[in-house]
């Protein structure tokens, strides 16, 4: 056995910080039955959709001495450089730099560990909806890998014995630059024309690999080029273009194709499934029947995630899972999409009366997530956003421009898509919904957030008070969530009696993981945002925002906000900020009683608790001489409204 460094993953923080998921690969020196090296291949079937727990993946890699891979999301692309395939006398990477001006020094950079011909992985951001070819004509040895692909993680060991390592001058992974627009344009995959036959795309890449094991690649060698070409076209059709790597790996079993994987991949990328294609899955089946074979059937265990117990992997015998209490306790907690407000992959509603600025709040959150910028001091998970603007679409452009101006984000990349077409998520026949969900996943890929604005405009003919009609609507929201991985938020109206919450059937409230009420002040200059239901986390107190002019629209500016973690105790600085805000708005002072009332309303606590918190933040002995300092440098203290008349009470004053 070849000696090599043991895979080492002491520091995976760069991947976690960039929100990239690690998956298990085979051991670095693993060999397949047909002699192929497996050290860079995923260890599990259905790895593109299998759910992985980060801690368990690391523990498994350490226990079994496995390599790790990075499962690439839709908004990340890795430029994979393999100098073995550079044409004689031509460095394709230098040519790409000269032709496009791409700045590789700005891209996080991994050295691939190939001791014979070192390669490179350069990480870039890209629009989630942009689907790229893996190879480009004229740049042999360069591949663009994104959604549906994985690359080997730093710390793994290459089959030649070298270690994948971060380049010494590599920028932080979290600082991935955008792939230049000219490179994006030249690498973008042409739009596919939908195939008429229902068997297009019927095979998964894993199933294609099992199917091809029945065929000898040497029977399709260079002297049998037409047979090889027909087989490639049939495999491309059968997987709708997704079986690229599996077909390349099969070809490498023929010595004539050794070290020609880039050429095979380039030929694959030149193919397109279309309505008039004559070479289909039937052609693949014909070649299989020549050797007494047929399309492989999926193994029963492929329908389930593999569970591990004491280092052994057993196939599940049914689709039901029964968890012990220890397993329940080990389940990961919900992940925040917007810290303290919105959970990832959840179903939620933002509701309020007409003109309460519900859509302002939805746009505000959508822009933060699409850009990766914080939401008023709260962290967000950056990712793609789909905004379904069934109501008020013309005004959204102004709101989004105002948001950018207010946040100084005019030059920042936003992964946001807008849809204005008619959509009925409550239709009795769900064919239209299924087609819409398929279009979203095909064109946009994984998303972090989908906003439906509003329920009324996307539920044509439905009765909002009907549990049956709203049940169909909820089912459609869940289809979108499950297909995209996004949190799906619907904007809705409150009923005539605002105190009773959302309008319509109680089935809506029952299905929601989170509900957020928006209430506009009587003067129209501010709103209160209150989370009324938070299924899997502690509910926070209300938040207040002023509506302020920016560009040609309005933006939300927070007053004083509750701690984003949900635990107010000990956050005396927030009391100081609230007092500073209220006193400034009232000419320099605010009665202690009014400040206590504001704390009661905002934090949902009793008057006694509110006054205790104020005393901790701004004690009675806190005077002008030893005043508390606010975040902007202003001073905050207490003093009697009139020293000669104690009945007039205490004022909290501010200055500066």
d(CA 140, CA 293): 35
Number of C-beta neighbours around residue 190 at 10 A = 8
Is the pLDDT at 407 greater than 50? The verdict is: yes
CATH class of 336-558: alpha beta
CA dihedral of residues 451, 454, 458, 463 (deg, nearest 10): 130
Q: Comparing 407 with 430, which gets the higher pLDDT?
A: 407
Is the pLDDT at 643 greater than 50? The verdict is: yes
pLDDT of 406? 87
Is the pLDDT at 632 greater than 80? The verdict is: no
Mean pLDDT of 327-334: 71
Mean pLDDT of 207-233: 86
**Least confident among 92-101, 197-206, 253-262, 603-612:** 197-206
pLDDT of 508? 87
Q: What are the tens digits of pLDDT across the range 519-532? A: 988 778 889 999 98
pLDDT of 325? 84
Half-sphere exposure of 409 (CA within 13 A, CB side): 18
pLDDT of 193? 47
d(CA 455, CA 236): 40
pLDDT of 603? 67
pLDDT of 174? 86
Query: Is the pTM for the entire model greater than 0.75?
Result: no
Q: Comparing 632 with 582, which gets the higher pLDDT?
A: 582
pLDDT of 34? 61
Q: What are the tens digits of pLDDT across the range 22-78? A: 999 999 888 876 667 788 888 887 777 777 888 888 888 888 889 999 999 888 999
Q: Comparing 463 with 643, which gets the higher pLDDT?
A: 463
The gap from C-alpha 121 to its chain's centroid, in whole angstroms, comes to 22
Q: What are the tens digits of pLDDT across the range 154-205? A: 999 998 889 999 999 999 998 899 999 899 988 887 655 444 455 566 788 8
pLDDT of 303? 45
Mean pLDDT of 267-275: 71
Is the pLDDT at 460 greater than 70? The verdict is: yes
Q: What is the mean pLDDT of the chain?
A: 82
Mean pLDDT of 635-655: 82
pLDDT of 566? 38
- Judged by phi (left if over 0) then psi (alpha if -120 to 50, else beta), residue 144 lies in beta
Report which DSSP code applies to 503.
S
Angle CA(471)–CA(387)–CA(76) in degrees, nearest 5?
A: 115
Number of C-beta neighbours around residue 289 at 10 A = 11
pLDDT of 466? 87
Task: Assess contact for 29 and 67: CB atoms under 8 A.
Answer: no
92 CB-near residues (< 8 Å, 6+ apart): 81, 85, 86, 139, 140, 141, 142
Angle CA(19)–CA(24)–CA(28) in degrees, nearest 5?
A: 125
Is the pLDDT at 267 greater than 50? The verdict is: yes
Compute the radius of gyration of the chain from its Cα atoms. Answer: 29
pLDDT of 342? 93
Q: Comparing 110 with 534, which gets the higher pLDDT?
A: 110
pLDDT of 142? 92
H-helix or E-strand containing 449?
strand 449-453
pLDDT of 304? 44
pLDDT of 402? 92
- Tokens linked to 639: 């003093």
**Least confident among 318-322, 616-620, 645-649:** 318-322
Please give the biggest Cα pair distance in the chain: 108
Mean pLDDT of 362-389: 92
Q: List phi, psi (to 5°) of 150.
A: -140, 155
Q: Comparing 251 with 633, which gets the higher pLDDT?
A: 251
The gap from C-alpha 335 to its chain's centroid, in whole angstroms, comes to 12
Domain segments of the chain as ranges: 13-187, 205-290, 336-558, 572-655
Long-range contacts from 617-624, C-beta under 8 angstroms, 24+ separation: 617/572, 617/573, 617/575, 617/576, 617/579, 618/575, 618/576, 618/579, 618/652, 620/650, 624/653, 624/655
**Least confident among 336-340, 427-431, 480-484:** 427-431
């Amino acid at each position: 056995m070849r000696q090599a460094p043991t895979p080492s993953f002491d520091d995976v923080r760069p991947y976690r910080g960039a929100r990239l998921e690690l998956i298990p690969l085979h051991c670095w020196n693993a060999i397949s039955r047909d002699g192929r090296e497996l050290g860079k291949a995923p260890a599990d079937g259905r790895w593109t959709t299998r759910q992985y727990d980060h801690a368990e993946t690391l523990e498994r890699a350490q226990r079994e001495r496995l390599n790790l891979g990075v499962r690439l999301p839709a908004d990340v692309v890795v430029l994979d450089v393999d100098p073995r395939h550079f044409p004689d006398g031509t460095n394709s990477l230098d040519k790409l730099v000269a032709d496009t001006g791409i700045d590789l020094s700005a891209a996080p950079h991994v050295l691939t560990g190939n001791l014979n011909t070192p390669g490179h992985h350069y990480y870039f951001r890209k629009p989630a909806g942009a689907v790229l070819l893996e190879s480009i004509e004229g740049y042999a040895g360069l591949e663009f890998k994104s959604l549906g692909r994985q690359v080997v993680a730093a710390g793994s060991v290459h089959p030649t014995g070298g270690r994948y390592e971060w380049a010494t001058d590599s920028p932080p992974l979290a600082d991935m630059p955008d792939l230049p627009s000219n490179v994006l344009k030249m690498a973008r995959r042409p739009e596919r024309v939908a195939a008429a036959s229902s068997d297009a795309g019927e095979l998964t890449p894993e199933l294609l690999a099992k199917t091809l094991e029945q065929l000898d690649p040497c029977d399709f060698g260079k002297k049998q080029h037409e047979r090889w070409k027909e087989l490639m076209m049939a495999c491309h059709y059968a997987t709708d273009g997704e079986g690229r790597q599996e077909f390349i790996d099969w070809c490498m079993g023929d010595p004539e194709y050794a070290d020609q994987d880039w050429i095979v991949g380039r030929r694959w990328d030149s193919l397109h499934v279309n309505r008039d294609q004559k070479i289909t899955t039937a052609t693949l089946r014909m070649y299989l029947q020549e050797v007494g074979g047929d399309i492989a059937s999926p193994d029963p265990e492929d329908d389930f995630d593999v569970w591990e117990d004491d280092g052994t992997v057993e196939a599940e015998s049914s689709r039901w899972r029964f968890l012990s209490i220890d397993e329940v306790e080990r389940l990961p907690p919900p992940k925040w999409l917007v810290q303290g407000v919105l959970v990832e992959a959840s179903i939620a509603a933002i509701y309020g009366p007409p003109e309460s600025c519900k859509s302002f709040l939805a746009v505000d959150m959508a822009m933060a997530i699409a850009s990766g910028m914080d939401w008023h001091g709260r962290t967000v998970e950056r990712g793609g956003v789909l905004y379904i603007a069934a109501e008020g679409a013309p005004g959204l452009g102004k709101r989004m421009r105002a948001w950018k101006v207010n946040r100084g984000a005019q030059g920042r990349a936003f992964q946001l898509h807008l849809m204005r077409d008619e959509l009925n998520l409550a239709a009795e026949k769900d064919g239209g919904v299924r087609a819409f969900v398929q279009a979203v996943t095909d064109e946009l890929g994984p998303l972090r957030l989908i906003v439906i604005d509003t329920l009324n405009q996307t539920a044509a003919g439905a009765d909002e008070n009907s549990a049956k009609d709203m049940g169909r609507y909820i089912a459609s929201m869940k289809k979108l969530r499950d297909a995209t991985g996004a949190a799906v938020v619907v904007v809705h109206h409150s009923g005539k009696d605002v105190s009773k919450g959302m309008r319509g059937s109680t089935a809506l409230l029952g299905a929601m993981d989170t509900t957020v009420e928006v209430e506009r002040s009587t003067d129209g200059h501010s709103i209160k945002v209150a989370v009324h239901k938070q299924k899997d986390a502690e509910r926070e107190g209300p938040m207040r925002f002023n509506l302020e002019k920016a560009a040609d629209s309005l933006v939300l500016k927070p007053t004083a906000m509750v701690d984003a973690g949900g635990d107010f105790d000990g956050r005396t600085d927030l009391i100081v900020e609230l007092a500073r805000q209220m006193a400034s708005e009232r000419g320099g002072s605010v009665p202690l009683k009014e400040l206590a009332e504001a704390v009661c309303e905002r934090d949902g606590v009793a008057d006694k608790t509110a006054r205790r918190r104020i005393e901790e933040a701004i004690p009675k002995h806190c005077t002008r001489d030893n005043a508390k300092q606010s975040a902007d440098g202003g001073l905050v203290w207490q003093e009697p409204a009139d020293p000669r008349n104690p009945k007039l009470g205490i004022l909290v004053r501010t200055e500066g």
